[in-house]
Structure 1
Amino acid sequence: MEKGLFHAPEKEIPGSDCMAAIIGYREDEETFNQALKSYLQAANCRFVLVGIDGDDNEDQYMFEIFQKVFPERSAMVHMDTPLVDLALELSASLPESQNKEDHIISLCVREARQHLERSKVSLHDVRYLCISQPHMHKKGIMFSSFIFSLLITEIYGLEWIWSSDSDTIVDPDTLSSTTSVCASDNAVGGACTTLVIHNRSDNLLTRLSAAVYLSDYYLARSSPSSFGANECQSGPCALFRASAIAPILLRWYTQTVWGKWMRVNEDRHLTTLLLRQGYNVLYAADSIAATESPPTLRRWLLQQVRWARAVHVESFYAPGIYVLQHPVLFFNTVRREIGGILIPLTIAIYALTGRTARPVPGQDLVQRLLITCGYLALRNPYRPSRWAEWLWLLPGQVLYNISIQGIQFWALMTMLDGSWGTCMRGSAEVQADATGVSSVDSAGSGSLQSSLESGLLTQPVSEEKRSRVKLRAQEIGFFVLWIGLVIGAIGRVWATTWYGFGGSMATLVAFACMVPTWMGMSWWMVAVAN
């Protein structure tokens, strides 16, 4: 795997010290090892906190990797009860008051301090701390990590918390250059960095995904960030002001939408709450972190659907932020939400009936691509040294722009679906997911081994096959339908443009394209997709 990044470390900038909080659950061993090692050289990083969401036998290898990477000045603390359980109990029992949430967070920080005392760990003597708890979900371990981070920043006199995932590798100057963008402005509540793909050479899909990150990620964040209104601090590369995040931590965790508790939009909702408080959120374009892209199409689709659901939820959750922030934030939201409905419907109607509101000239698409490439070549801080990487930009844009229309529409229709979708990257989790059984969505502690012992992975073939078909249809059935409609639309364009067919003949050609596509994609969905 390609693990190298791109900059030599810069000279340390006074006042830009921070701590790093990395969270993970059953991560790929080599990826987790490389991710932790990258913090050994991270400039201006005064403390490293690792949060592991699990304490079963299957999770022990992550503790061993932590001890191997940080053999000195390190310690481990285990919590039998996640800190968020304490917070929720206090929230239910304490009377309502103006400072209730602040009081609850203070009590949670005190509990974290007591955990350290019981484990005989002094934060003055260690620089690397690993905390663990029974398995919950990403939001649960993030809450615990943030509570410990508030304690650490208080003791070390730090203002900034770098939050990242167990599959993300940082450059030596990633943290320092990001904090330097924010440190001089008290109105800034946080920032995120440029993301690239470190496993881009794995296969065709990861190369295409890397090309999408190269273009879409940079362009999507640059415009709103110029007005201090970046709407998402991505989970792998987010920086938060400690004093800004403390007051919103409990309401972030307990967010409900139409009575349903949300957990798949953890990074976007934190950003939304910062924007609601009037803070600016920036995009540190010159800072680079490298994350992992799913290596299979199904897992990539599930990731994109989860992200798209988060986008829709946050677009409607707090309309008041559009008054507080620059109008460009409102414009981007309206354009995205309207386009997410109209474009898929237009394509579907055209494929099925031949009716269209307005054709899109092919030259417009070519010009858009050329303008994008030119802008990236001049402005993107990460410019690949090999021209071969730029050549992937066209097929990457084709993959993304075709897929994202169906993804956005499906995500809007199912935006309250709280399933995480993608499995963890540990070998046992990947194997279980391929079989159709995964603990990825469990809300409490649970062992993969218990599933094996109870026979969940050795059920009769017919029952297993029915379960797999149902699961795959729920997960990616929309994509099968969408690709068929796209192929049908292309077939209709081909029939009408090149052969002059119209009416029922063009419709016959469209369905002749759609039906085999649906059949082939259905076979892929059930028999191949992992």
Structure 2
Amino acid sequence: MAVITFSALNRRRVNNRVKKRNPHWVGLSTGIVAVGYREDPVLLEGCLKSLRAIRYRRNQRIVLVVDGNEDQDEYMAKVFEKVFASQGAAIFRPHFLCKDRSANDRERQELVHQIAYHPGPVCVVQPHHGKRSAMYTGFAALQQQGIEAAVVTDSDTYLDPHSCTELAFALAESPIVGAATGDIRIYNTGTWVSFLSSLRYWFAFNLERGAQSYHGAVNCVSGPLGIYRMSIVADVMDSWVEQSFLGVLCTYGDDRHLTNLVLAKGFKIKFSPYAICYTDTPVRFIAWVTQQTRWSKSFFREIPIQLGCIHLHSLWMTYALLYQLIYPMMMIYNLVNCIYFGSGLQIAWWMFSIIFVGLLKTAYAVRMTGDKRFFFTTLYGFLYMLGYVPAKMYAALTLYDNSWGTRQVIFLFDVIIAVAAA
């Protein structure tokens, strides 16, 4: 109930601010940084067209960074050129990375200057080195130009035309708001996995991040849609891009780590339901579990950083951290305990309590959206128990493994199936 209450209070607060906003309001200057690696050309074109349609008057820069400069990466630059042909688009093809201090410093400075001051949209096709290196290039250009806030997105995401306006307005609430995120929705809902994920996304953002936003402590500015003050990014971008864990350079979890670096500096992070984007999600069960495993690993990896700054923020941040850490384990414990040691009444009460809480959340979602498909939310419980909880446990046991994880997850479920069959 507390989550619903704080989420509703946050929505009312945002609604009141939006209603009172001057129609001629002009906020911080922004630049959009989109990154991609061998993206589906149809999705990429849709993403770029959505960026072209942005209606925020102070958006001064659109930068697409292609994470790869081999022949099979070149099509992304051609799609970019096609979409922005009438707006003076330029394509740069450096043979080095902006983050690479071993490169010629003069070359790096000249590249950043050219990207920053080219009058139209820019595409940078750089050597493959992961998403962080690609984002770093975009951040460096925005910093050079003196832009005040960076809007980040992915190459498979479609931004609402007013998303930048709403994100910038979230930052304008107070100078101590350092970042913000919005309502991330799913467009590929053609399978049960992706459909149930789309329902879960609504709760993750409009309920959980909404409640966190009321306390100024959103725990993850998700990659598909976020905004950061460039003054903060400039301070942390070098340590962020070089983050390592157990001696290995971190490849995923870039959004959560950057979020935590903002929180660690004492800044607040907000969520606005008016900033909207549409992205895709895995449609197959194994791919979805692999995604959840990566996200869980980044969550566990970031716990020490969050623990180091919880004294700077509301107690709700501590609650949210403990809830994410303990709740999946409690679910497993209660399930096993009820099956092997519980009476029929205890099992019935446990099931009733879970269903009751789920129905409360569902009722809130239906009331807010009018979408009766949220009554299918209870089915997500099967995905949660069969996929998310094992993925979280597996992630906690394999933090040393920094790979993408698909083969390992398939092996995990082979083992689970074999044990169950035995």
The TM-score, its normalising length taken from structure 2, stands at: 0.86
Contact 1:257–1:317 at 8 Å: present in 2 too? no
The alignment status of 1:364 with 2:379, answered yes or no, reads: no
8 A contact 2:253–2:295 mirrored in 1: yes
Structure 1 position 355, deviation (Å): 3.9
Instruction: Note closer, same or farther for the CA distance 1:251–1:48 as it changes in structure 2 (3 Å cut).
Output: same
Counterparts of 1:306 and 1:125 in 2: how far apart (Å)?
A: 37
- Output the CA distance in 2 between the equivalents of 1:348 and 1:413: 20
**Cα distance in 2 for residues equivalent to 1:61 and 1:256:** 32
**Corresponding residue of 1:114:** 110
Within the candidate set 54, 57, 66, 2:68 is matched to: 54
Corresponding residue to 1:324 among 299, 312, 318: 312
Tell me by how many angstroms 1:229 deviates: 0.7
Does the C-alpha gap of structure 1 residues 403 and 122 become closer, same or farther in structure 2, counting only changes over 3 Å? closer
Aligned residue number for residue 33 of structure 2: 21
Structure 1 residues 280 and 206: alpha-carbon distance in aligned structure 2, compared to 1, 3 A threshold: same
8 A Cα contact 2:64 2:123, kept in partner? yes
Task: State the alpha-carbon separation in 1 of the partners of residues 115 and 238 from structure 2.
Answer: 26
Residue 123 (structure 2) aligned to one of 130, 135, 153: 130
Contact 1:301 1:476 in 2 (8 A): no
CA distance in 2, matches of 1:142, 1:416: 25
- Once the two structures are TM-superposed, the CA of residue 288 in structure 1 deviates from its matched residue by 1.0
Asked if 1:185 corresponds to 2:174, the answer is yes
Task: Determine which of 134, 139, 143 is the counterpart of 1:146.
Answer: 139
1:308 is aligned, of 296, 299, 306, to 296
- With over 3 angstroms needed to count, the CA separation of the structure-2 counterparts of 1:46 and 1:135, relative to structure 1, is same
Q: Secondary structure at the match of 2:239?
A: helix
Using the alignment, how far apart are the partners of 2:23 and 2:282 within structure 1? 35
Residue 346 of structure 1, CA deviation = 5.1
Query: What is the distance in 2 between the residues matched to 1:210 and 1:332?
Result: 21
Verify: 1:64 aligned to 2:63, yes or no. no
Contact 1:16 1:176 (8 Å CA) reproduced: no
TM-superposed CA distance for 1:349, in Å, is 6.8
Alpha-carbon distance in structure 2 between the residues aligned to 1:41 and 1:214 = 24
Q: Using the alignment, how far apart are the partners of 1:124 and 1:331 within structure 2?
A: 45
Identity %: 24
| 2:128 aligned counterpart, secondary structure | coil
Q: Distance in 1 between matches of 2:212 and 2:107?
A: 39
Q: 2:355–2:378: 8 Å Cα contact kept in structure 1?
A: no
Q: Could you tell me whether the CA contact under 8 Å between 1:406 and 1:482 is conserved in 2?
A: no
Q: 1:349 to 1:79 in 2, by over 3 A?
A: farther
Aligned pairs for 1:209-228 within 5 A: 209-228=197-216
Please give the per-residue CA displacement for 1:125-155, whole angstroms capped at 9, x wherever unaligned.
5220011211111122122222122123x1x
Give runs of aligned pairs for residues 256-271 of structure 1, distance below 5 A: 256-271=244-259
Q: Deviations over 1:49-93 (max 9, x none)?
A: 00000111101110110000000321011111112222xx49xxx
Aligned to 2:99: 84
- Give the 3 Å change call, closer, same or farther, for CA 287–116 of structure 1 in structure 2: closer
Alpha-carbon displacement from aligned partner over 1:360-405 (angstroms, at most 9, x marks no partner) = 52211221111001222344xxx26x53x33432323432354222
**116 and 138 in structure 1: CA distance in 2 versus 1, 3 angstrom threshold:** closer
Partner SS state of residue 476, structure 1: helix
Q: Which moved more, 1:398-407 or 1:219-228?
A: 398-407
CA distance in 2, matches of 1:313, 1:70: 39
* Structure 1 residue runs without a partner (length 5+): 1-9, 91-106, 423-470, 486-513, 519-530
After the TM superposition, which of the residue ranges 42-51 and 235-244 deviates more from structure 2?
Answer: 42-51
Aligned pairs, number? 395
SS of equivalent residue, structure 2 residue 55 = coil
- Note the C-alpha offset of 1:160: 1.1
Q: Is the 8 A contact 2:289 2:388 kept in 1?
A: no
In the alignment, structure 1 residue 419 sits paired with structure 2 residue 412:
no
The aligned residue for residue 19 of structure 2 is: none
CA 184–210 in structure 1, closer or farther in 2 if over 3 Å, else same: closer
Is residue 248 of structure 1 aligned with residue 248 of structure 2? no
2:149 partner amino acid = W
The amino acid of 1:32's aligned partner reads: L
2:141 corresponds to which letter in structure 1?
F
* Preserved contact between residue 256 and residue 262 of structure 1 (Cα < 8 Å): yes
* Aligned amino acid, residue 76 of structure 2: M
Q: In the TM superposition, what whole-angstrom CA distance separates every residue of 1:7-61 from its partner, at most 9, and x where no partner exists?
A: xxx9563114411000000001100000000011112132100000011110111
Amino acid at match of 1:149: L
Quick one: distance in 1 between partners of 2:330 and 2:418? 18
Which deviates further from its counterpart, 28-37 or 409-418? 409-418
Label 1:318 to 1:396 Cα distance change in 2 as closer, same or farther (>3 A). closer
Change (3 A) 1:145 1:69: same
Cα pair 2:362 2:375 within 8 Å, conserved: no
1:212-252 per-position Cα deviation (integer Å, ceiling 9, x unaligned)? 21223322211221111111010111111000110111111
SS at match of 1:50: strand
Can you list the C-alpha shifts for 1:241-271, whole angstroms capped at 9, x where unaligned?
A: 0001101111112223343432221111101
Evaluate the alpha carbon distance shift between residue 421 and residue 175 of structure 1 in structure 2; reply closer, same or farther with a 3 A threshold: farther
**Contact 1:229/1:275, CA 8 A, preserved across alignment:** yes
> How big is each residue's C-alpha offset from its partner over 1:409-446, in whole Å with a ceiling of 9 and x where there is no partner?
11111123211246xxxxxxxxxxxxxxxxxxxxxxxx
Please tell me the root mean square deviation across aligned C-alpha atoms, in Å: 2.6
The SS at the match of 2:307 is: coil
Distance (Å, rounded) in 1 between the aligned partners of 2:202 and 2:112: 42
Q: Which amino acid aligns with 1:375?
A: Y
Structure 2 distance, partners of 1:225, 1:484, is 43
One of 381, 393, 398 as aligned partner of 2:382? 398
Q: Matches of 2:228 and 2:243 in 1, distance apart?
A: 19
Name the amino acid aligned to 2:110: Q
Distance 2:24 2:302 in 1: 36
Asked which structure has the greater CA Rg, the reply is 1
